[in-house]
A and B are shown apart, each in its own frame.
Chain A
């Protein structure tokens, strides 16, 4: 096995590490910590945060890539690897990934969606819906299906319920040790909903999430829980693979945009004069180009470059990854202007405050002023902007993929799923499950992000207090 580090993998893991470091530093500042606790005091924020964490975990699992060695290789020679790049998520999905049918099939169906013409043994030509190769192949008779689904569902719920109980008790035990309250007492408080943070809601969300995931996963081994697409691919697998694309576009764009907005915004506000003029000119110019057109233009240029240089990439996965990376870069370059303007205004305001003037009079260097006074005081604006942008970016991915300037068409993404669904709508009878799956997966993510960002805004924005 050989680990493969795609560019976007490296970026996302670097981001996780730096977020961890940042979390560690703020955990030592009581003020900031209190603010974060205030955010999570709301039940809705707690629920959304857990849902977001689940999505991010799936995206992270899908960001560990490897290539397996080819079987039956002579010992001592250089190991040859398969051309296909897999991720840990693929490995978790195991056989579900390989269960490809011939064409469309509805969720939990045992037969194909459309009928095909077959020649029977006695020479007659008939129109029948053929059996699926993988779904329900363990059943003795087709009538057993509903009972089988019920039994398997109960089993999945039971196991997931036990698992979540285990995790919850571990957490309770850990909290009991940290707070010196006996864990029985602790559990009682949680049940009555009398804890400082809404742990009851948190545990409930966690259990429901785990049960849903376990149910989808367990039944996915026996049926196509969300049906199959045109070429028979499992929609459940596609929807889960699309999580990475959506989350990465939302998160990595921020990574590109943030340094630009911070550096330019703060310098414009602090240094003023011609620096301010240049930076203002820069963002007004970029801002005046309709966003989607600028993105489309840049992506078109990038497409021709990739097309003219096929030798840059070893595998198709790498090519798709570079395209995702460039899309993220372009989105970042076009979306820093809003935050930059806010930061400039705020820096202008802060640099007039007495303690900053005093610091400057004492000869404190500009960099120290930025680090000590300005950065901490604009962090709330940055955070609010970041959480607000996330959902907009996830939605933008779908639109861009529809226009044809989004991610690579071979990459799993909700945008590509919707794009394909457009043609499926015209079919008789209609194929609705791809669209619905993409819709639900996307809706839950964006809704959670919107609700969480509302809460962040309410707590961190001084205007609201």
Chain B
């Protein structure tokens, strides 16, 4: 097992190097530090001297790959590629263009993101699976059809509308929850409840359809037929046999999402003023802070790869048919 995990981690390295190269090419070769400086300082009244100081302050004045002026090995290390890109591998995210420590920011902003993402994920999973099972119980009836029509409708609405409509209805008209804001701990529940509910509802359509198809696939298998032949009631068949067997594809599909929960939701957080990683990224995009965007791209990629590895491991743990090799 350990050897397997180690090998998977080794496989991740070339992929992360690739991600790194992509961001490096985008941010330092296509879009040179000069362009960034001009964008940050405002296009009109910038002098070459101002651009030079801006670059020097942020360490963007080094050559790309090869530093001719430095002695010995430093020729290779005192470059933009090593300083700005390779350091990400040891999770040294450096400083943002406005001078803040990105690593510390990420550590601090991770928790508000989790506070929204974890309940949304857990409640969403439980509701969609329950709904899907209920719909499978009534398969082929008008209830099934209408539920699927409603699911498609829920899927067809942009997430932005759910957020805006939710804010208007529950905060502006009914005054049940504050419109936006954040507090840590239990005091923050009133701020968290609406984004969580909206997140759960927005995912309801796609989730229910997906789980329904998984359960429908299971229900046609031989073991289900045997269980029915034994005289088990339909509900018992569903919960005792179909659900546990359907959990396997569900689980493996879900594990991949878990690490990305740290990233938070870009849109949700910025609408509700929650100081998580999502709103951090959006603010960085709006402020054209390339250092933060670059760090978040790398961070996101790391989380995604962890998710993939976790999925494979969960497969081996829960499905005895899969052998590690």
A-side interface residues toward B, CB under 8 Å? 281-282, 284-290, 292-294, 296-298, 300-301, 303-305, 307-308, 391, 395, 398-399, 402-405, 418, 421-422, 425, 430, 435, 439, 442-443, 446-447, 450-451, 454
Contact B15 A285 (CB under 8 A): yes
Q: Which 10 A-B pairs have the closest CB atoms?
A: A285-B18, A290-B300, A301-B31, A447-B156, A446-B156, A288-B304, A288-B301, A304-B35, A398-B158, A296-B285
Contact B152 A301 (CB under 8 A): no
Interface flag for B260 (CB, 8 Å): yes
Contact A294 B266 (CB under 8 A): no
- B149-188 residues with Cβ-Cβ distance < 8 A to A are 152-153, 155-161, 164, 167-168, 172
* In the bound complex, CA of A289 to CA of B88 (Å): 15
CB-CB under 8 A from A425, the residues of chain B are 164, 167-168, 172
Contact of A451 among B152, B290, B294 (CB under 8 A): B152
Contact A285 B19 (CB under 8 A): yes
How many of chain B's residues have a CB under 8 angstroms from any CB in A?
48
Contact A418 B285 (CB under 8 A): no
CB-CB under 8 A from A454, the residues of chain B are 152
* In the bound complex, CA of A289 to CA of B298 (Å): 7
Least Cβ–Cβ distance between A156 and chain B, in angstroms: 28
Interface flag for B116 (CB, 8 Å): no
Count: A-B pairs, CB below 8 Å: 124
Interface flag for B23 (CB, 8 Å): yes
- B123-148 residues with Cβ-Cβ distance < 8 A to A are none
CB-CB under 8 A from A304, the residues of chain B are 31, 35-36, 38-39, 288
| Smallest Cβ-Cβ distance to A447: which chain B residue | B156
Contact A288 B156 (CB under 8 A): no
CB-CB under 8 A from B156, the residues of chain A are 391, 443, 446-447, 450
Contact A297 B161 (CB under 8 A): no
Contact A289 B19 (CB under 8 A): yes
Interface flag for B242 (CB, 8 Å): no
Contact B293 A284 (CB under 8 A): no
| Smallest Cβ-Cβ distance to B297: which chain A residue | A293
Contact A395 B158 (CB under 8 A): yes
Contact A402 B152 (CB under 8 A): no
Contact of B27 among A301, A395, A403, A405 (CB under 8 A): A301
CB-CB under 8 A from B38, the residues of chain A are 304, 307-308
CB-CB under 8 A from B43, the residues of chain A are 307-308
Interface flag for B220 (CB, 8 Å): no
- B281-325 residues with Cβ-Cβ distance < 8 A to A are 281-282, 285-286, 288, 290, 293-294, 296-297, 300-301, 304-305, 308
Interface flag for B56 (CB, 8 Å): no
Contact of B160 among A284, A285, A398 (CB under 8 A): A398
Least Cβ–Cβ distance between B134 and chain A, in angstroms: 21
Contact A418 B160 (CB under 8 A): yes
Given contacts A395-B158, A405-B285, contact A290 B297 (CB under 8 A): yes
| Smallest Cβ-Cβ distance to B36: which chain A residue | A304
* In the bound complex, CA of A125 to CA of B67 (Å): 72
* In the bound complex, CA of A402 to CA of B263 (Å): 19
